[in-house]
């Protein structure tokens, strides 16, 4: 790890000011950034921790939406969203291990957009809105390929607003070593239709499986996707699975998520 | 009633108190006043010409004391190899030079090129980034078959990538070929024994120190055998006589074989400390461990088993390519040969066996012994081919094994070893009972109802432990003796200290060794302390590996204690005014046979050191004895294992539902510790079978170079085990009748796991699936089911 300055602003304005400097980097729970620093793969001059920013942590219901502060840890989401959005709470409760869940944050996960992360699937399937210090971004417009989002330099995710579906669940098949999602599928059924988002599988990062959405909107049951096939084109191939294997998992995990949500 | 002390008692491990409360003293806990820190610059390419190393900028950076490169080590020796194998034609293996730091060429990702020594670790690391090796990349050679078929040379000076082409027993080759040609049935199987990385919890650490006042060097290191390191490094690398070199291996957090070997980093810190006149410390990062610890296994094998119409084994032929990696690690040549070929008979009366092994250099991390070392590779191929033969011939795999069991002992195998004792039907009977094989069908039906496939796999194993008779291994190419030593010191007030050449890095010697002495003398175990790991205060010993500590080191301790008891009886006889032949020692008390005259253990010990009433004319004062024990034979633990798996037909994920192990370890000193050793071994075996595998890409980069991609087994991957060691045929040639239990689990478990998965797939109609290479990851099992 190279030397860096650390700031822990208490207000959003102070955080924005701190991030305006050269080579400043926002720090959420640090579950990706800190290992990256330890491996000397990044050398920011300054880290701006968002952990102490007032009003950025917590889970609350607002109308038919669940609003989660950007600095809220997975453990808090797992505990506090359990009644209002059990599918989301269940997802949060299975990210990493207890140490990860007590440090890692939803804002950090979304800003990093790891292609194997769990939260992007929930955000995209739920049609959530990512609220930043400067705008509101629909989930469909937020993710922009592996480790890439539409966030600007220094832009801070202050909260994420989830419409709560009638039914929603996440099914994850873990990569055996890292236990990130080798493929994870979140399905969410709303009165206006079903949304299906897939993480871990595609070289483009999280994506919506629209054929399954159509099929499931007509019949929200696992067998509704039986007749569909997923192309291995564009799927990730690595030590832990070929593109064909991941394509298979997209379908299998979709069925399991539907079964869990039903 | 189970015993509550002495041999046979499940005494709780006394060392765990310090391990579990953070009070252990590991090598990284050792900090010497004024120590400097070393950071290794390692090759990031698999193969290249090293034209030079530019250290100018780095040397000027803050805190840098000195930067060492290969040129600094031209005057010292290379890292030696401890075993010389002779090939089929009677010629010795090719043995390339293994420099401490690369010189002229880099040969694997991780090959050390330069070392920065600085005042602080961060300064050393900062400066290391400014060291610029000038490397012209060369095409790497990674595939073993390509390597011996004209691939790029790893070592230009030896002219070949073939280290040796070993045939065993060469004289049997024609007869084996003829028997296979004429057999009723021949089953052939090609398989890979996957490359593993040991991953002990504690990464390697080395601290070198130098004392100017007496020109002596001390190395603190994470080693399983400090005396071996002292000998290899002192005599062959640095030229330091043993009386000027002390090697200390304090608490060591797991070894699994990979801490047997002498490593460049050990020689470096010892050398650098003397050069700089101050202590030098190196602590591996986990990432560094992946590319610098010797790896294990990595065999590619074709095995053929010939049977007659009744299922009797007629002949066995195996051809193996064994990866040596880029250099010969300390015991690497012995693993695929004498620790592998000699075990190919397994538990069976196969009359004709021929084993061919081609050891090959590649641009990968060196490969050497890993828990089981050669014996898992032998067991895996044998027990897999037997299962395949049973399926092909339509016979029950258990009955096929039973039909071919060796039943009379001693038994001389056609691969040069003699099993002294065993009872393979007994362990199989016990296995069928504890695994509840009879209940399998009901469990299968339940799995089916849940949409899962279920399979049952089992296998037998035998291993050669208690390594080893020195005269025999000398003939086989070992450049070391393999005896063990112990000094037993009785103090004046009756307590004992045992200074053993065995080394404990998780095995529980500090608990189990005192149980033996307590039993022999009839005193409390807590009166005995075990000292190990320091060449300054233990007799020359060969260390711990190959499940040898109790069988060889324990035997040395027994012999020394027998000497103590014999002398103590003479002292007691003098005081009790009796003949020493009439003195009996029981429950810590010396009595004159047939009388009520007695003397307590402590009184005799005191008399030995306060010899007022003492036979000084005939007997020296004091009570301290040393014994060296050289075993007459290997020991042959054996057993039968069963694994039940469920397979998710949609994802290929395998879960271990049940695992049973019936082992014959001979006599048992501490059943709880034996259970623990078997549990750990099975965990590693399941790890190999389902999860672990070192993987290189075409450029020679280690793809599985961190825990993000190298899958270690975790607690929730493993079932509750049913283990049993009530079948006991004591070893006939060591005083304790013990055989060793450290590696059995890792040897015996992979075949049963793979047999179970193949069984599950076969039962589900995937009749074309006769084998899947380890690790049986979900993706591989799923792919196998796709046809």
pLDDT digits (tens, 9 = 90+) for B395-452: 999 999 999 999 999 999 999 999 999 999 999 999 999 999 999 999 999 999 999 9
Is A249 within 8 Å of B653 when comparing Cβ atoms? no
Is A239 within 8 Å of B704 when comparing Cβ atoms? yes
Is A177 within 8 Å of B711 when comparing Cβ atoms? yes
pLDDT of residue B676: 97
Residues A129, A155: one domain? yes
Is A178 within 8 Å of B650 when comparing Cβ atoms? no
Closest alpha carbon within chain A to B777: A240
Pick the CATH number of B483-629 from 3.40.50.150, 3.30.365.10, 3.40.50.300, 3.40.50.1240: 3.30.365.10
pLDDT at B1 over 80: no
B705 contacts on A by Cβ (under 8 Å): none
Q: Where in chain B is the domain with CATH 3.30.365.10?
A: 295-468+633-785, 483-629
pLDDT of residue B525: 97
Residues A158, A208: one domain? no
Mean pLDDT, chain B, integer = 97
Q: Classify domain B295-468+633-785 at the CATH topology level.
A: Aldehyde Oxidoreductase; domain 4 (3.30.365)
pLDDT digits (tens, 9 = 90+) for B317-361: 999 999 999 999 999 999 999 999 999 999 999 999 999 999 999
pLDDT of residue A22: 82
Mean pLDDT, chain A, integer = 97
**Which numeric CATH code is attached to B27-138+201-254+259-292?**
3.90.1170.50
- For the CA atoms of B466, B469, B472, B477, the dihedral, rounded to the nearest 10 degrees, stands at 70
Closest alpha carbon within chain A to B702: A239
Interface residue A40 vs chain B (CB under 8 A): yes
A40 contacts on B by Cβ (under 8 Å): 125, 129
pLDDT digits (tens, 9 = 90+) for B629-668: 999 999 999 999 999 999 999 999 999 999 999 999 999 9
Would you place residue A262 in the very low, low, confident or very high pLDDT band (cuts 50, 70, 90)? confident
pLDDT digits (tens, 9 = 90+) for B90-129: 999 999 999 999 999 999 999 999 999 999 999 999 999 9
**Within-domain flag for A210:** yes
By CB atoms closer than 10 A (0-12, 13-18, 19+), residue B132 is middle
Is B704 within 8 Å of A177 when comparing Cβ atoms? yes
Residues A159, A198: one domain? no
The rounded Cα A194 to chain-centroid distance in angstroms is 18
**Within-domain flag for A124:** yes
Residues A145, A191: one domain? no
Q: If you count them, how many residues does chain B have?
A: 787
Is A242 within 8 Å of B779 when comparing Cβ atoms? yes
A241 contacts on B by Cβ (under 8 Å): 778-779
A252 contacts on B by Cβ (under 8 Å): 650-651
Quick one: average pLDDT of B258-286? Answer: 98
A178 contacts on B by Cβ (under 8 Å): 707-709
Residues A146, A215: one domain? no
Is B777 within 8 Å of A242 when comparing Cβ atoms? no
Would you place residue A113 in the very low, low, confident or very high pLDDT band (cuts 50, 70, 90)? very high
pLDDT at A79 over 90: yes
Of A40, A177, A252, the CB nearest to B650: A252
Residues A159, A171: one domain? no
Residues A106, A11: one domain? no
Is B651 within 8 Å of A241 when comparing Cβ atoms? no
pLDDT of residue B673: 98
- List Cα–Cα distances, B547 to A46, B370, B466, in angstroms: 53, 12, 6
pTM of the predicted model over 0.95: yes
Would you place residue B787 in the very low, low, confident or very high pLDDT band (cuts 50, 70, 90)? confident
pLDDT digits (tens, 9 = 90+) for B454-484: 999 999 999 999 999 999 999 999 999 999 9
pLDDT at B2 over 80: no
A36 contacts on B by Cβ (under 8 Å): none
Residues 6+ apart with CB under 8 A from B191: B300, B301, B303, B380, B381, B384, B771, B773
Beta-carbon pairs below 8 A across chains A and B: 45
Residues A41, A105: one domain? no
pLDDT at A15 over 80: yes
pLDDT of residue A190: 98
Residues A97, A122: one domain? yes
SS (H, E, C) chain A: CCCCEEECCCCHHHHHHHHCCCCEEEECCCCCHHHHHHCCCCCCCEEEECCCCCCCCCEEEECCEEEEECCCEHHHHHHHCCCCCHHHHHHHHCCCCHHHHHHCEHHHHHHHCCCCCCHHHHHHHHCCEEEECCCEEEHHHHECCCCCECCCCCCCEEEEEEECCCEEEEEEEECCCCCCEEEEEEEEEECCEEEEEEECCECCCCEECHHHHHHHHHCCCHHHHCCCCCCCCCECCECCECHHHHHHHHHHHHHHHHHHHC
Number of domains in chain A: 3
Q: A44: closest CA among A159, A153, A157, A117?
A: A153
pLDDT digits (tens, 9 = 90+) for B9-62: 999 999 999 999 999 999 999 999 999 999 999 999 999 999 999 999 999 999
Asked whether this complex has an ipTM greater than 0.90, the answer is yes
Task: Determine the Cα–Cα distance for residues A108 and A26; give it in Å rounded to an integer.
Answer: 9
pLDDT digits (tens, 9 = 90+) for A137-180: 999 999 999 999 999 999 999 999 999 999 999 999 999 999 99
Angle between helices A243-261 and A210-218 (to 10 degrees): 30
Closest alpha carbon within chain A to B652: A245
Interface residue A245 vs chain B (CB under 8 A): yes
Give B263→chain A minimum CA distance, Å: 24
Is A40 within 8 Å of B129 when comparing Cβ atoms? yes
Closest alpha carbon within chain B to A255: B650
pLDDT digits (tens, 9 = 90+) for B373-389: 999 999 999 999 999 99
Is B708 within 8 Å of A249 when comparing Cβ atoms? no
Sign of torsion, CA A140 A144 A145 A148?
negative
Q: Which domain covers residue A27, as residue numbers?
A: 5-49
Q: Which of A18-22, B179-183, B517-521 has the lowest mean pLDDT?
A: A18-22
Domain edge (last residue) among A100, A134, A163: A163
**Within-domain flag for A54:** no
Would you place residue A1 in the very low, low, confident or very high pLDDT band (cuts 50, 70, 90)? confident
pLDDT digits (tens, 9 = 90+) for B490-547: 999 999 999 999 999 999 999 999 999 999 999 999 999 999 999 999 999 999 999 9
Contact between B624 and B560 under an 8 Å Cβ cutoff? The reply is no
B650 contacts on A by Cβ (under 8 Å): 248, 252
Residues A18, A95: one domain? no
pLDDT digits (tens, 9 = 90+) for B10-22: 999 999 999 999 9
Is B691 within 8 Å of A176 when comparing Cβ atoms? yes
Q: Which of A38, A176, A236 to mutate to test the interface with B (most CBs of B within 10 A)?
A: A176
Chain B positions with Cβ closer than 8 Å to A: 125, 129, 287, 650-653, 691, 695, 703-704, 707-712, 777-779, 782-783, 786
Is B703 within 8 Å of A239 when comparing Cβ atoms? yes
Give B723→chain A minimum CA distance, Å: 27
pLDDT at A81 over 90: yes
Q: Work out the percent of chain B whose per-residue pLDDT is above 90.
A: 99
Residues A126, A211: one domain? no
- Please list the alpha-helical segments (H only) found in B40-168: 56-59, 121-128, 144-148
Is B778 within 8 Å of A177 when comparing Cβ atoms? no
Is B778 within 8 Å of A242 when comparing Cβ atoms? no
Interface residue A41 vs chain B (CB under 8 A): no
Q: Where in chain B is the domain with CATH 3.90.1170.50?
A: 27-138+201-254+259-292
Is A240 within 8 Å of B709 when comparing Cβ atoms? yes
Residues A157, A247: one domain? no
Interface residue A98 vs chain B (CB under 8 A): no
Interface residue A177 vs chain B (CB under 8 A): yes
Is B777 within 8 Å of A39 when comparing Cβ atoms? no
């Amino acid at each position: 790890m190279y030397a860096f300055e650390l700031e822990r602003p208490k207000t959003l304005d102070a955080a924005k000011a701190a991030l305006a400097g050269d080579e400043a980097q926002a720090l959420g729970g640090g579950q990706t950034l800190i290992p990256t620093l330890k491996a000397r793969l990044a050398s920011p001059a300054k880290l701006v921790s968002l952990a102490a920013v007032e009003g950025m942590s917590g889970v609350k219901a607002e109308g038919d939406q669940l609003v989660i502060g950007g600095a809220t840890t997975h453990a808090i989401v797992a505990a506090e969203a359990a009644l209002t959005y059990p599918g989301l709470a269940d997802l949060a409760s299975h990210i990493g291990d207890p140490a990860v869940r007590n440090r890692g944050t939803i804002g950090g996960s979304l800003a990093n957009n790891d292609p194997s992360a769990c939260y992007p699937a929930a955000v995209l399937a739920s049609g959530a809105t990512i609220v930043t210090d400067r705008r509101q971004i629909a989930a469909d417009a937020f993710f922009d390929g592996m480790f890439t989002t539409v966030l600007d330099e220094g832009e801070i995710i202050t909260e994420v607003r989830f419409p709560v579906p009638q039914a929603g669940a996440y099914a994850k098949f873990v990569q055996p070593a890292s236990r990130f999602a080798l493929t994870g599928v979140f399905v969410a059924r709303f009165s206006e239709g079903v949304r299906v988002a897939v993480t871990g599988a595609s070289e483009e990062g999280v994506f919506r499986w629209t054929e399954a959405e159509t099929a499931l909107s007509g019949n929200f049951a696992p067998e509704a996707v039986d007749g569909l096939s997923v192309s291995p084109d564009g799927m990730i191939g690595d030590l832990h699975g070929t593109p064909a294997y991941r394509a298979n998992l997209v379908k299998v995990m979709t069925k399991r998520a539907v079964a869990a949500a039903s | 009633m189970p015993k509550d002390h002495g041999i046979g008692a499940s005494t709780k491990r006394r060392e765990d108190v310090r391990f579990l409360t953070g009070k252990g003293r590991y090598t990284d806990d050792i900090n010497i006043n004024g120590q400097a820190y070393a950071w290794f610059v390692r090759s990031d390419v698999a193969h290249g010409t090293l034209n030079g190393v530019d250290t100018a900028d780095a040397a000027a950076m803050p805190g840098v004391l000195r930067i060492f490169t290969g040129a600094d080590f031209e005057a010292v020796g290379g890292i030696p190899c401890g075993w010389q194998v002779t090939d089929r034609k009677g010629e010795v293996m090719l043995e390339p030079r293994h420099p401490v730091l690369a010189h002229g060429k880099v040969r694997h990702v991780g090959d050390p090129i330069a070392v920065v020594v600085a005042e602080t670790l961060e300064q050393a690391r900062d400066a290391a980034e400014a060291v610029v090796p000038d490397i012209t990349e060369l095409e790497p050679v990674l595939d073993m078959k390509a390597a011996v078929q004209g691939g790029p040379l790893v070592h230009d000076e030896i002219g070949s990538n073939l280290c040796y082409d070993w045939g065993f027993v060469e004289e049997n080759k024609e007869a084996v070929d003829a028997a296979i040609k004429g057999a009723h049935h021949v089953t052939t199987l090609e398989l890979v024994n996957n490359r593993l990385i040991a991953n002990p919890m504690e990464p390697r650490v080395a601290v070198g120190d130098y004392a100017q006042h007496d020109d002596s060097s001390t190395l603190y290191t994470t080693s399983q055998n400090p005396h071996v390191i002292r000998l290899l490094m002192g005599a062959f690398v640095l030229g330091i006589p043993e009386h000027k070199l002390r090697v200390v291996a304090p608490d060591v957090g797991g070894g699994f074989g990979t801490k047997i070997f002498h490593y460049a980093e050990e020689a470096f810190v010892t050398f650098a400390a003397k050069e700089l006149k101050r202590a030098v410390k190196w602590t591996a990062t986990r990432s560094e461990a992946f590319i610098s610890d010797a790896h294990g296994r990595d065999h590619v094998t074709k095995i053929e088993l010939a049977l007659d119409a009744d299922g009797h084994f007629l002949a066995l032929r195996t051809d193996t390519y064994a990866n040596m990696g880029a250099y010969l690690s300390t015991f690497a040549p012995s693993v695929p040969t004498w620790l592998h070929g000699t075990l190919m008979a397994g538990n069976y009366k196969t009359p004709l066996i021929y084993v061919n092994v081609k050891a090959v250099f590649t641009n990968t991390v060196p490969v050497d012994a890993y828990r089981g070392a050669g014996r898992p590779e032998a067991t895996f191929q044998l027990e897999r081919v037997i299962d395949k033969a049973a399926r092909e011939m339509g016979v029950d795999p258990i009955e096929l094994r039973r039909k071919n069991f060796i039943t009379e002992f001693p038994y001389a195998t056609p691969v040069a070893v003699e099993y002294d004792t065993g009872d393979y039907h007994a362990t199989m009977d016990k296995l069928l009972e504890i695994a509840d094989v009879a209940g399998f069908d009901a469990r299968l039906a339940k799995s089916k109802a849940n949409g899962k496939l279920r399979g049952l796999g089992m296998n037998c194993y035998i291993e050669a432990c208690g390594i080893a008779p020195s005269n025999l291994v000398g003939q086989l190419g070992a450049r070391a003796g393999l005896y063990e030593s112990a000094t037993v010191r009785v103090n004046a007030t009756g307590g004992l200290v045992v200074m053993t050449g065995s080394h404990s890095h998780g095995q529980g010697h500090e608990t189990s060794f005192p149980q033996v002495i307590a039993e022999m003398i009839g005193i409390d175990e807590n009166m005995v302390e075990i000292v190990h790991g320091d060449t300054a205060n233990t007799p020359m010993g060969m260390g711990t590996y190959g499940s040898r500590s109790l069988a060889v080191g324990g035997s040395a301790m027994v012999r020394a204690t027998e000497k103590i008891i014999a002398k103590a009886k003479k002292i007691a006889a003098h005081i009790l005014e009796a003949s020493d032949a009439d003195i009996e020692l029981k429950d810590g008390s010396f009595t004159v046979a047939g009388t009520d005259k007695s003397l307590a253990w402590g009184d005799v010990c005191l008399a030995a050191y306060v010899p007022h009433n003492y036979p000084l004319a005939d007997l020296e004062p004091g009570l301290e004895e040393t014994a060296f024990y050289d075993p007459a034979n290997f020991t042959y633990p054996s057993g039968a294992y069963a694994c039940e798996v469920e397979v998710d037909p949609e994802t290929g994920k395998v879960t271990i539902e049940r695992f049973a192990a019936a082992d014959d370890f001979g006599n048992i000193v501490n059943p709880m510790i034996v259970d623990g050793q078997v549990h750990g071994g099975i965990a590693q075996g399941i790890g190999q079978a389902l999860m672990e595998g070192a993987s290189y890409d075409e450029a020679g980069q280690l793809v599985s170079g961190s825990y993000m991609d190298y899958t270690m087994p975790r607690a929730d991957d493993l079932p509750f085990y049913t283990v049993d060691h009530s079948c006991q045929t004591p070893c006939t040639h060591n005083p304790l009748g013990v055989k060793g239990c450290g590696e059995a689990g890792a040897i015996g478990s992979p075949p049963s796991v793979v047999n179970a998965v193949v069984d599950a797939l076969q039962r589900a109609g995937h009749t074309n699936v006769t084998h899947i290479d380890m690790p049986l990851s979900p993706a591989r099992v799923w792919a196998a089911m796709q046809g």
